[in-house]
Structure 1
Amino acid sequence: MTGRWRAAVTATALTVCASAVALAPATPALAACDTSRVRYDNPVTETPWPLRRLQPNLVWPLSQGEGVRVAVIDSGVTADHPSLAGAVLAGKDYVDQTNDGRCDEAAHGSIVAGVIAGRPVGAFSGIAPKATVLPIRVLRDTERTSDATIPQHIVEAIVFAADNGADVINMSLVTPDTPALKNAVQYALGRGVVIVAAAGNEGGSKQEGPAFPAAYDGVIAVAGVDEEGKHVDTSTSGTFVDVAAPGANVLGPTPAGGGFAEFKAGGTSFAAAYVSGLAALLRGQDPKLTPAQVAARITSTADHPPEGFNIQVGYGVVNPLRALTVVQQAVPSRTAAAAPATLERPAPPHDPFGGTRTAAVITAVTLGGLTVVLLLAAASVRRARALRARM
């Protein structure tokens, strides 16, 4: 690779499968890990809005991601937070090779992992709370960087994930389009790994254009929406966008203190994580689904914009209930319309974790049949100190 590349901040994770290798259960980090800047002890007492919007609890009787391994290529993932305890395997660390991926000095990777597979703690839960996380650390922090070694590490990370049993790869980052990156993505897809990546946070800027690896064929590219169902301004638009998910005011577990932190600025990092969680639910329900079938299920059952597809949210906001219960539908045709995307937001349930809703989904099933650098929050989010704890 020649020239300097530009780092952006958002979020995304990627996974690849090859010959499965038995990995050790979580143990203390192997080397010193400074998490003093990302220590929070605040609890989550109200259900986060993305959980009210997506209502994954409705499909937990069908799948919670059991047996599914999700590779998180990011800033590392803590194994010490109560919501991630027992969920994080020993992985790979390209920042400090004496470590095993379970050191996160930025909090980004841990929040991504929590969104995907966090165990219930207070009012917080991941989308697929019984999936496991394979952490692969390629960045120490969320600063913009021109370190030419990072793109190569991302390539290696994809291959490592594929060779170590990943079923899903979450890539909340963007990196230069190179033959090596494309080959690594194809390698993982060829081994049956579902790859989800952030669409990027260059929305409305001169740099807006296809982001990689999100724009590669076979990768599920994810845009962000806010609590009102509107396209997040910083979320990159384009015909490569497949679907959208919550991408603003997202919170998750922090590396130290046992608390939770929130990224208020809009972006696509955590939007990608929500879709990776949905992919884990689908793989848990039917491990035989191919990457293409998982992608088709997610896109065809999303809450489509009026025109079926547009460049801001793709086929629309993902819908876990329909994805796991509706008989496969045809994917609407891409029309690349530049129309504004204000999606209809369903009324949030009073208690999304209520037992009555669980009973309702079981009844519905019975009767109805059935996307170099981390894209951390917005470009304005430079440091882990920018994290704001939900008090």
Structure 2
Amino acid sequence: MPRTQVTGRTGPRRALTVLLPLLLATGTPLSVGVPASAAEPGAVRLPVMPSRLAAGASCTSASHEVATATPWEQRSLELPKVWPSGSGAGVKVAVVDTGVSQQARALAGRVTAVGGATADQDCVGHGSFVAGLIAAAPVKGVHFAGVAQQAAILAVRGTDDRGVATDTTVAGGIRAAVDAGARIIEVSPALADRSRTLTAAVSYAAGHDALIVAAAVPDATTTTMSTDTPPRSYWPADEAGVLSVVAVDAEGQAPQGSPAPRHADLAAPGAGVIGIGPGGTGHFIGSGASLAAGYVAGMAALVRAADPELTAAETANRLTTTAYPADVPRLDPYAALTSVPDTATHGEKPAEEAVRLPEQHTDAGTTRRALLVAGGGGALLLLVVWASAVVPRGRARGWRAAARNRPTGTS
């Protein structure tokens, strides 16, 4: 499927998505404001969250900058309307990425390291950023927060300590997440080649009713931003049963430099989004399909917490069928969480009900009008029948009254 394209105005936000791939590679701080502009007085300069580190590069340190304004992505998804209806409590969400640090204060007390991950280390910081999009708790004075703010996070290492992934590391991360009881598994890496190891891991998750939400394409880097390649598949996103996600910016367009997927199930904010780092209370800014997958994974956690009997496949179906129509349907959290569950999907037989008029015709005024019309029609029919019998007889008698008890033979 071609990349999402929605016609809209260009401007500072569009310029932001053009620059992000380069900034991701260099780690250059980016000024964030509304509108986003490096020259705007009072704008907050946030460091960029990398998706991987060069050999020998230092680990990502804590940010000292705090974004206090409401991020565009939270406004776009209308998350404040969703939060009163769900928190994700009781659902385990695994993040198969660079690890998730327990030093991230917005996730304090809710991170458990499994597989090859360590409890206090995420050198790259990317996994902690994604986990924050999924489940960061609100902080006083800061409008950023995760989607499912009480969900439990499973930190799963799906890469090496530099952020480089292989089919073996990703497959091992998926299996470790399943064994730890994850109901939602976010997978950030998007690999160019399919493998039996990865396919088997995806099947293992499906067999345990765990929903995999995966980036449909790799996050943009300096090597992908100048490459104009035709749409293609990436894994595990292209495996059957995986919910594949692409990123869009504030104008609903795919970020510049992002590869185009052959197929994607959902689109979500993933260009110039704000999130947490591996430590401290400061914020970073990032871009990529992996971040969009984080938003979708958080929403999947809310849906499964609200309706625990939904299977992984039914949860994916809820998210896709309630999405905004587009080339790639856009995630609609409020519709997904508030839509009436279809009991038939659980194999239950709907209760029989008395026959009734469709809802749009059952108001009192319409019902009275229908009864009056029906009654009037019946009376008219009786009148026609009576006339068809009486009128011919009247004409035959010259409209004289009928004789009563006249003796036979009397003149």
Settle same-fold status: TM greater than 0.5.
Answer: yes
Partner of 1:132: 152
Q: Distance in 2 between matches of 1:53 and 1:41?
A: 26
Alignment of 1:196-235 (within 5 A): 196-201=213-218, 205-206=228-229, 208-235=231-258
- Residue 391 of structure 2 corresponds to none
User: Does 2:203 correspond to 1:186?
Assistant: yes
| 1:285 positional shift | 0.3
The one-letter code matched in structure 2 to 1:61 is P
Write the letter of the residue equivalent to 2:234: A
The CA deviation at 1:60 is 2.2
Cα offset for 1:44?
Answer: 2.2
Q: Deviations over 1:154-174 (max 9, x none)?
A: 211111111111010000111
Q: Distance in 1 between matches of 2:60 and 2:134?
A: 23
8 Å contact kept, 1:223–1:235: no
- 2:295 match: 274
The 8 Å contact of residues 105 and 280 in structure 2, kept in 1 or not, is answered as: no
Give TM-score scaled by structure 1 length: 0.67
Deviation string 1:35-55 (CA, Å, 9 cap, x unpaired) is 753221212210111111112
How many Å separate the matches in 1 of 2:341 and 2:254? 26
Identify which of 275, 278, 283 aligns with 2:304.
283
Matches within 5 A, 1:1-391: 37-93=60-116, 100-121=118-139, 122-140=142-160, 150-175=166-191, 176-201=193-218, 205-206=228-229, 208-263=231-286, 266-305=287-326, 310=327, 314=328, 316-327=329-340
Distance 2:105 2:270 in 1: 24
CA contact (8 A) 2:97 2:157 kept: yes
| 2-structure distance, mates of 1:115, 1:243 | 17
| Higher RCO (CA < 8 A, seq sep 6+) | 1
Runs of 4+ in 1 over 6 A off after TM superposition: none
Given that residues 174 and 205 in structure 2 are in contact (C-alpha distance below 8 angstroms), is that contact kept between their aligned partners in structure 1? yes
Q: Is the 8 A contact 1:110 1:255 kept in 2?
A: yes
The amino acid across from 2:301 in the alignment is A
Instruction: Give the Å deviation of 1:256.
Output: 2.8
Structure having the larger proportion of residues in helix: 2
| Residues in 2 aligned to 1:287 and 1:60: alpha-carbon distance in whole angstroms | 18
Residue 356 of structure 1 aligns with which residue? none
Q: Which ranges of structure 2 fall in alignment gaps of 5 or more residues? A: 1-20, 25-56, 219-223, 343-411
Q: Distance in 1 between matches of 2:130 and 2:256?
A: 21
Whether the 8 Å contact between 1:102 and 1:135 is mirrored in structure 2 is no
Larger Cα Rg: Structure 1 or Structure 2? 2
TM-fit CA distance, 1:140: 4.2
Q: 1:57 to 1:256 in 2, by over 3 A?
A: same
State whether residues 105 and 140 of structure 1, in contact with CA within 8 Å, keep that contact through their aligned partners in structure 2. Answer: no
CA distance in 1, matches of 2:323, 2:331: 4
Note if contact 1:223-1:236 (Cα within 8 Å) is conserved in structure 2.
no
Q: Match of 2:37?
A: none
Using the alignment, how far apart are the partners of 1:35 and 1:119 within structure 2? 28
Query: Quick one: distance in 2 between partners of 1:169 and 1:272?
Result: 10
CA contact (8 A) 1:106 1:140 kept: no
Give the structure-2-normalised TM-score. Answer: 0.64
Change (3 A) 1:102 1:220: farther
SS at match of 2:84: coil
Which consecutive unaligned segments of at least 5 residues does structure 1 have?
A: 1-7, 11-33, 95-99, 330-391
Aligned-residue CA RMSD (Å): 2.4
Aligned AA (1:196)? V
Alpha-carbon displacement from aligned partner over 1:112-162 (angstroms, at most 9, x marks no partner): 00000111122110011010100012334556x5x8xx4212211111111
Shift in alpha-carbon separation, 1:140–1:40, aligned structure 2, 3 A: farther
2-structure distance, mates of 1:111, 1:49: 17
- The size of the alignment, in residue pairs, is 280
Do the aligned residues in 1 keep the contact of 2:73 with 2:273 (CA within 8 Å)?
A: yes
- Local SS of the residue matching 1:90: strand
Tell me the secondary structure at the aligned position of residue 275 of structure 2: strand
Partner SS state of residue 317, structure 1: coil
Distance in 2, matches of 1:60 and 1:300, equals: 21
Q: For residues 213 and 257 of structure 2, what CA distance do their matches in structure 1 show?
A: 19
Contact 2:113–2:156, Cα closer than 8 Å, also in 1: no
Distance in 2 between the 1:107 and 1:207 partners? 31
Q: Give, in whole Å, the separation in 1 of the partners of 2:273 and 2:258.
A: 14
The residue aligned with 2:12 is none
SS for the counterpart of 1:60 is helix
Q: Distance in 2 between matches of 1:124 and 1:254?
A: 13
Letter matched to residue 136 of structure 1: V
2:102–2:108 CA contact under 8 A, matched in 1: yes
Question: Shift in Å at residue 101 of structure 1?
Answer: 4.6
Alignment-derived partner of residue 346 in structure 2 = none
**1 CA distance for matches of 2:215 and 2:83?**
25
> Within 1, Cα distance between the matches of 2:66 and 2:216?
30
Partner of 1:19: none
